[in-house]
Amino acid sequence: MEESLAFIDLPDDRTLVGFGPFRTTDVVPSRGAAFYCNDFGLSSPAPWWIPDRWETVPRGEAGRLLGAIPAGLSCHWEPPDASAFAAVFQEISASIRAGAFEKTVPVVVERGLLDTAPGRGLLAAAAACPSPLLGYGFTDGQRGFAGASPERLLSVSGGVLRTMALAGTARTEERDVLAVDEKEIREHEYVAQSLVSKLGDIGRVRRGPRVIMELGSIVHFHTPIEVDLAGDESPDALVRRLHPTPALGPLPRTPETLEQLIGWRRRLGTPDGFGAPFGAILDGQFHAIVAIRGLWWEGREVLLPAGCGVIEASRLVNEWRELRLKREAVKARFGF
């Protein structure tokens, strides 16, 4: 895959760009740079991608490596299937009432047809995103994915793990309402408390205050979490400990609830990489984001997935509105 290329924004305001061909391995590289790429179910036997060569550049300067942002790229979108999503939503609501779930995250997918194949153009657009969004992407010339994620899964540097709870969504003009919305606060607390409980046995956990993250047209609740690690933890083990968080996965997270969620995702046509961890290790420091707010494509066909957290208090019309809000934000980011 000589045309292959991957990139990710790092926490230190640099961007790592790797050029193919990539070599895959199941062993965490001990030096240099490698990308971590897996599916939502973490089924890849060799999730580490080692590039033929790589560069780091200051954030915002990856354009000279990725190419120009496409001007006037257009896409013909088809509305997502509301009836299919409604059927899954009703099944989830019944499962919550039966006590099988407290929360889970179905996904709706909007499909489109690009006027021309995007090449590296969608990666270039994702790399131009402003902080606190984190750009990421991969292409082999024919297919790929790219996005600007607001959610860090984890970063490990200097014996400290950093992660976040990110859940609860509203339009920017509804910021004040979000701050007192009991349903959105409850959904966020499910995520934050679950993360704290998952991390308590590997070090000292520090939870920051819940604040509002502003992302242009939308806002989210955000709680930073840090862990002073008591020992050496491998990146693979940390990913499996944290993924999927309740922001994208089921609560409680068991093999059975995860399998059920993956089944719902497949019924709705969700790309395997949506919500999956995507990251990189560079000179021993590991960083991974949650692959959301992005596009997945092959040739001219493109998929735009979005998920919503469903709890007992959720209502179908409100969740459908939130899904549209998230998709609109992605379209605006890529200039559609």
Domain boundaries, the chain: 5-334
| Fold category of 5-334 in CATH | Anthranilate synthase (3.60.120)
Q: What is the pLDDT of residues 127-156, one digit of tens each?
A: 999 999 999 999 998 999 999 999 999 999
Query: Is 187:224 a contact under the CB 8 Å cutoff?
Result: no
Q: Can you list the pairs that 319-326 forms with residues at least 24 positions away whose Cβ atoms lie under 8 Å?
A: 319/89, 320/82, 320/85, 320/108, 322/169, 323/80, 323/85, 323/108, 325/169, 325/171, 325/217, 325/218, 326/169, 326/218, 326/293
Query: Is 140:19 a contact under the CB 8 Å cutoff?
Result: no
**Minimal CA–CA distance to 110: which of 334, 326, 290, 286?**
326
DSSP designation for 129: P
Angle between helices 316-334 and 82-97 (to 10 degrees): 130
| Main-chain phi, psi angles of 262, to 5 degrees | -60, -35
How close are the terminal C-alpha atoms of the chain, in Å? 28
Query: Quick one: tokens of 75?
Result: 């896409």
**Minimal CA–CA distance to 279: which of 271, 269, 287?**
287
SS (H, E, C) 189-225: HHHHHHHHHHHCCCEEEEECCCEEEEECCEEEEEEEE
**Minimal CA–CA distance to 25: which of 4, 40, 44?**
44
The model carries a pTM of 0.94
Query: Quick one: tokens of 265?
Result: 């995702």
Helix or strand holding residue 160 (H, E): strand 160-171
Per-residue pLDDT of the chain (336 residues; tens, 9 = 90+): 448 999 999 999 999 999 999 999 999 998 899 999 999 999 999 999 999 999 999 999 998 898 877 777 889 999 999 999 999 999 999 999 999 999 999 999 999 999 998 889 999 999 999 999 999 999 998 999 999 999 999 999 999 999 999 998 989 999 999 999 998 999 899 889 999 999 999 999 999 999 999 988 899 999 999 999 999 999 999 999 999 988 899 999 999 999 999 999 999 999 999 999 999 999 889 999 999 999 999 999 999 999 999 999 999 999 999 999 999 999 999 999
